[in-house]
């Protein structure tokens, strides 16, 4: 894995809807900007070699960092893969949609649900929203949220941004009834 940079963000929400948020709502993001392991190879039929060489190392790198940035246990989480313009969306998907990657985060967060994800191809500076859901029950509406991210200098055409996000709580001031009330 050729790593160019690591980006860390902590979003702390103190007021929502004109009312204080107590405790402060926290969402952390850690993103790695790596060289696309398939860059310059043309169409690669079998992506397994790049997955084996990269996915687990990325998960092991990012999972503890995002939880450390959050500073507390996670209640919601998500992931992203943003592929530079010379790559395929499938390249990002290959790295994040494998247990070799996701199990690092699930284990570190004591989570059981699938990680919600976003994948897209974009140039440097593109914005993307990382979706988050509850770590053990994806039907808990209060934890359905997202965070918008932008790295000014990434991804370059032959790079991929791989990011993890963790929230310490659901949406600030959430007021929706439980899904079970509509069943």
What is the pLDDT, as a whole number, of residue 178?
Answer: 73
Indicate if the alpha-carbon torsion angle 36, 37, 43, 44 is positive or negative: negative
Nearest to 43 by CA among 106, 90, 112, 94: 90
DSSP 72: S
Cα separations in angstroms, 86 against 42, 95, 128, 155, 161: 10, 16, 18, 10, 13
- What are the residue ranges spanned by the domains of the chain? 3-182
Other beta carbons within 10 Å of 166:
30
Whether 114 has a pLDDT exceeding 80, the answer reads: yes
183: which 2 tokens? 């069943």
Question: 3-182: which CATH topology?
Answer: 60s Ribosomal Protein L30; Chain: A; (3.30.1330)
Spatial neighbors of 183 by CB under 8 A, at least 6 apart, are none
Q: 125 with 33: CB under 8 angstroms?
A: no
In DSSP notation, 123-153 reads: -TT-EEEEEEEESS-TT-GGG-EEEEEE-TT
DSSP 30: E
**Per-residue pLDDT tens digits for 77-89:** 999 999 999 999 9
What is the pLDDT, as a whole number, of residue 182?
Answer: 73
pTM of the predicted model, to two decimals?
Answer: 0.96
**Per-residue pLDDT tens digits for 13-45:** 999 999 999 999 999 999 999 999 999 999 999
**Per-residue pLDDT tens digits for 141-159:** 999 999 999 999 999 999 9
């Amino acid at each position: 894995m050729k790593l160019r940079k690591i980006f860390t963000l902590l979003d702390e929400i103190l007021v929502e809807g004109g009312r204080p948020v107590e405790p402060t709502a926290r969402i952390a993001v850690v993103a790695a900007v790596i060289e696309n392991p398939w860059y310059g190879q043309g169409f690669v039929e079998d992506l397994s070699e790049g997955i084996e060489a990269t996915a687990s190392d990325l998960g092991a790198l990012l999972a503890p960092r995002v939880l450390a940035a959050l500073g507390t246990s996670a209640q919601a989480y998500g992931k992203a893969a943003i592929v530079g313009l010379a790559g395929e969306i499938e390249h990002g998907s290959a790295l994040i949609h494998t247990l070799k990657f996701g199990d690092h985060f699930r284990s570190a967060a004591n989570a059981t649900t699938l990680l919600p994800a976003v994948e897209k191809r974009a140039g440097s500076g593109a914005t993307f929203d990382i979706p988050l859901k509850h770590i053990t029950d994806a039907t808990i509406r209060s934890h359905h949220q997202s965070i918008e991210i932008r790295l000014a200098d990434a991804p370059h055409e032959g790079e991929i941004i791989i990011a993890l996000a963790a929230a310490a709580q659901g949406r600030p001031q959430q007021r929706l009834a439980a899904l079970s009330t509509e069943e």
